[in-house]
Structure 1
Amino acid sequence: MAHLRVHTDRIEVHLTPAEKSLALRADDIVVQRDDIKSATITDDPWIWIRGIRVRGSAIPLVVAVGVWKYHGGSDFVIAKGKRPAVVIELAAGEFTRLIVSTNHAGALIDRLKLNSPPPAAPDGDAETEAD
């Protein structure tokens, strides 16, 4: 399960070793909070996947991990089964969108609200686990 850490200036998607293998990716994903345009909760992450898979692994409606390219850029996807997901639209960076399945979508959206600082965890950062 990927861990999403929400900091005051960035969010980090820490991939498990299995997810890194499936995505054919060696490092975690870091997105600056200033680059986030919007965040949406969806009950069906599969309808948000666009383009063609260029790097990663997929079994339709079961698991999709990796990079999907479309005419306007690339999306990073971690979709698992019928779990809800958060779709994060980005203004700049490596990806134009992150689609991450998580059972904690509401808490993640609350931590991402741009008008207020995220709630602090004991170490000063907030962490959410994607399932």
Structure 2
Amino acid sequence: MASLRVHPDRLEIHLTPAERTLSLRRDDIVVQRENIRSVAITDDPWIWIRGIRAPGIEVPLVLAVGTWKFHGGKDFLAIKGKRQAVVIDLVDEEFARVVLSTSHAGDLIASLKI
């Protein structure tokens, strides 16, 4: 599961080696806090998937890791099973949305409010 680090100016999403391999991504994701439009917690992250996988892997309702491209841009997903997830909507970043399974969604939202 990706680890999230909140800094005063940015949010860092550190991917596990398996997530990097499955998503065909070399670097972690760094998002400037000023570019975060909204953050929401969801109990069903699968309804947030939009577009087509390119590149990445998906086993429906089990695992989705990688980039999903849609008409308006692209999203990054790291979803595992039926775990609670956080949905981060972005502007002026590499991705329009990041959806991550995490057991610390409430803590993440609280730390982003500061």
Normalising by structure 2, we get a TM-score of 0.98
Match of 1:26 in 2: 26
Match of 1:63 in 2: 63
Q: What is the percentage of aligned positions where both structures have the same residue?
A: 66
Q: CA deviation at 1:43?
A: 0.2
- Specify the SS of the correspondent of 1:87: strand
Equivalent-residue separation in structure 2 for 1:2 and 1:75 (angstroms) = 16
Equivalent-residue separation in structure 1 for 2:68 and 2:40 (angstroms) = 19
Structure 1 segments (4+ residues) deviating >6 Å: none
Match of 1:2 in 2: 2
Letter in 2 for 1:33: R
Q: CA deviation at 1:64?
A: 0.3
Equivalent-residue separation in structure 2 for 1:92 and 1:49 (angstroms) = 20
Q: CA deviation at 1:93?
A: 1.0
1:8-28 Cα deviation digits (max 9, x unpaired) = 000000001110001010110
- Specify the SS of the correspondent of 2:13: strand
Q: Does 1:96 align with 2:96?
A: yes
**For structure 2, which runs of at least 5 residues remain unmatched after alignment?**
none
- Specify the SS of the correspondent of 1:93: coil
Equivalent-residue separation in structure 2 for 1:84 and 1:34 (angstroms) = 25
RMSD of aligned Cα (Å) = 0.6
- Specify the SS of the correspondent of 1:107: helix
Q: Aligned pairs, how many?
A: 114
Q: Give 1 or 2 for the bigger CA radius of gyration.
A: 1
1:92-127 Cα deviation digits (max 9, x unpaired) = 1100000000111101111111xx3xxxxxxxxxxx
Q: Does 1:54 align with 2:54?
A: yes
Equivalent-residue separation in structure 2 for 1:63 and 1:18 (angstroms) = 12
Equivalent-residue separation in structure 1 for 2:48 and 2:42 (angstroms) = 9
Normalising by structure 1, we get a TM-score of 0.85
